[in-house]
Amino acid sequence: MAHQPFDPYYAYQQQDERSHINTLFVSGLPDDVKAREIHNLFRRRPGFDSCQLKYTGRANQARCCVCYFFQSSIGDGSIARFKFSYVISFLRGDHQGVKFDPQAGSVLHIELARSNSRRKRKPGSGAYVVIDKRSKGEADVQGSSSDDGDSDPDEPSGSGGSHGDLATTKSSEIKFGSDSAVSAEQHERGPDGGPCSTLFIANLGPNCTEDELRQTFSVYAGFNMVKMRSRGGMPVAFADFDEVEQATKVMEQLQGSMLSSSDRGGMHIEYARSKMRKH
């Protein structure tokens, strides 16, 4: 155990603190999106199990959890996780930043979910689930009438763990065919970029200023500095923190939140690909 030869699975396992996550979190959806649309968007992806659409009722933001369940024929879950990282790359390549509705201009944002959906989908039940909190606090569930409609998709899966969910998946082997032919070499960098103490902020409005960002981010512990880059197009920004944990908290706190300058929905925040250089 002292030294491991290079092994991408091992590297991925070491790098990813959320290796048990098999759920994608999709945001940037217009509030009139239909679960059917989401389902059609992802259903053909290998390993796809089900999806859940939640209308938050806040600021025209629908959000969606798309679940992928992988089961490794080798037994070691790292293979499944490695495959899952492929899928994330795929979806990002195919969908990330795509204007879901050219009229409304909603921009898709796909990332690894913070936690798995607790929902267990029984075979034969609906392919998707809708939770609508727009009008009343009451959940409107369809697609699986006997389902536990109130379980929160953002909460970690319970004591049974995700393997219990995996067990309900019929296919014992995921085939990566024409729909997802990717070579392993393309994925040296990890599933979604590893955690970083610098945050990358996108989906800012054209009138956003560095000062506005500073006021927003500087109240959080560990804040170092913020830098904005415009590069001709829409501005993006980097916010640096001392520790990864601090950056993580800020990302969770501010994900999707609006600035006064925002004109295209809330901020999209990810870990930056590299730490901001020190001055």
Partner DNA sequence: AGCACA
* List of residues contacting DNA (CB under 7 A): 92, 96-97, 99, 107, 109, 193, 198, 200, 202-203, 227, 229, 231, 233-234, 236, 238, 240, 264, 268, 270-277
The answer to whether the CB of 247 falls within 8 A of the CB of 277 is no
| Of residues 104 and 234, the one with the C-beta less far from DNA | 234
Among residues 81, 74, 67, 66, the alpha carbon closest in space to that of 29 is found at 66
| Of residues 58 and 275, the one with the C-beta less far from DNA | 275
Token reading at 198: 């610098």
Distance of closest approach, residue 210 Cβ to DNA, in angstroms: 12
| Of residues 174 and 236, the one with the C-beta less far from DNA | 236
| Of residues 55 and 100, the one with the C-beta less far from DNA | 100
| Of residues 144 and 203, the one with the C-beta less far from DNA | 203
The answer to whether the CB of 226 falls within 8 A of the CB of 238 is yes
d(CA 35, CA 127): 9
Please tell me the total number of residues recorded for the chain in this structure.
279
Distance of closest approach, residue 266 Cβ to DNA, in angstroms: 10
The answer to whether the CB of 57 falls within 8 A of the CB of 130 is no
Distance of closest approach, residue 35 Cβ to DNA, in angstroms: 23
Distance of closest approach, residue 156 Cβ to DNA, in angstroms: 24
The answer to whether the CB of 276 falls within 8 A of the CB of 224 is yes
Distance of closest approach, residue 249 Cβ to DNA, in angstroms: 17
- Backbone φ and ψ for 54, nearest 5 degrees, come out as -120, 125
The answer to whether the CB of 133 falls within 8 A of the CB of 55 is yes
